[in-house]
Amino acid sequence: NAGVTQTPKFRVLKTGQSMTLLCAQDMNHEYMYWYRQDPGMGLRLIHYSVGEGTTAKGEVPDGYNVSRLKKQNFLLGLESAAPSQTSVYFCASSYSAANYGYTFGSGTRLTVV
Amino acid sequence: GDSVTQMEGPVTLSEEAFLTINCTYTATGYPSLFWYVQYPGEGLQLLLKATKADDKGSNKGFEATYRKETTSFHLEKGSVQVSDSAVYFCALTRNTGGFKTIFGAGTRLFVKA
């Protein structure tokens, strides 16, 4: 029972490089989310999706893009990485978060140098 | 806007001590409230939830009661174990708008043997 799988687990980028983080879920959840976790700040929502083909901005969307071409996958792209994007990125999915909460992946630790 | 405030850590306790981690929230309407736990190197896991006022969520000896009059959702456990050492996040989820979740900053708990 895989749940939510994030790849890669670790990555080091140089300033200005681009990359894509992949999130895959096998629970047939409609809702998917990308958060970043920084020390002392909890988790902040970057983008989210309420279904296949939809995306919406969260609290801190600048510098990121997302796509949800298939229901099970939610991709997070960094167009031109900056040191301020050094963080741990978590993907989560939900059937009905108000009743059941989120299922999280294990995270991607990204360092931008 | 919505917000969640939880007590700063770290909290250090001896095994079998009583645990309280305070959490208060600001929100319009009637959000659902959650506690998540994060063990080192892992993603967040749902610990317990309450979806309406006066509900008590419980799991693995942890409890929290949704208090609308004091806008609080304090986490308690009667006797902590070393294995409870982790970071605990209080969170609220709206029942509309994509079920976005707002997280507190997290409280780190250390339990000594």
Name residues 88-107 of chain A within 8 A of B (Cβ).
Answer: 90, 92, 94, 96-107
Q: 3-state SS string over chain A? A: CCCEEEECCEEEECCCCCEEEEEEECCCCCEEEEEEECCCCCEEEEEEECCCCCCEECCCCCCEEEECCCCCEEEEEECCCCHHHCEEEEEEEECCHHHHCCEECCCEEEEEC
For A5-22, write each residue's pLDDT tens digit: 999 999 999 999 999 999
Q: Are B60 and B47 in contact (CB under 8 A)?
A: yes
CB contact under 8 A, A42 and B103: yes
- Give the integer Cα–Cα distance in Å for B87 and A58: 24
pLDDT in tens, A28-77: 999 999 999 998 788 999 999 999 999 999 999 999 999 999 999 999 99
CA dihedral sign of residues A12, A13, A15, A19: negative
Q: Give me the pLDDT at residue B25, please.
A: 96
Quick check: B33 and B100 in contact, CB under 8 A? no
Q: Check pLDDT > 70 for residue B38.
A: yes
Compute the count of residue pairs across chains A and B with CB atoms less than 8 Å apart: 66
Instruction: Report the amino acid identity of residue A48.
Output: Y
Angle in degrees, CA B16, B21, B25, rounded to 5: 160
* Binding-face residues of A in 55-74 toward B, CB within 8 A: 56, 58
Question: Nearest CB to B43: which of A42, A90, A98?
Answer: A90
**Using an 8 Å Cβ cutoff, are A29 and A105 in contact?**
no
> What would the mean pLDDT of A75-95 be, rounded to a whole number?
96
Question: Residue A94: CB partners within 8 Å, gap ≥ 6?
Answer: A29, A30, A31, A32, A33, A100, A101, A102, A103, B99
A contact test, residue of B34, B87, B99, B108 with most A CBs within 10 A: B99
Mean pLDDT along residues A103-109: 96
Q: Provide the token pair at A48.
A: 């989210």
pLDDT digits (tens, 9 = 90+) for B69-96: 999 999 999 999 999 999 999 999 988 7
- The rounded distance, in Å, linking the Cα atoms of B88 and B111 is 13
Looking at residue B96, its amino acid is T
Q: Which of A98, A103, A106 sits opposite B99 (nearest CB)?
A: A98
Q: Min CA distance, A70 vs chain B (Å)?
A: 18
With contacts defined as CB-CB under 8 Å, which chain A residues touch B95?
98
Q: Which of A38, A95, A104, A106 to mutate to test the interface with B (most CBs of B within 10 A)?
A: A104
Q: Cβ separation of B101 and A99 shorter than 8 Å?
A: no
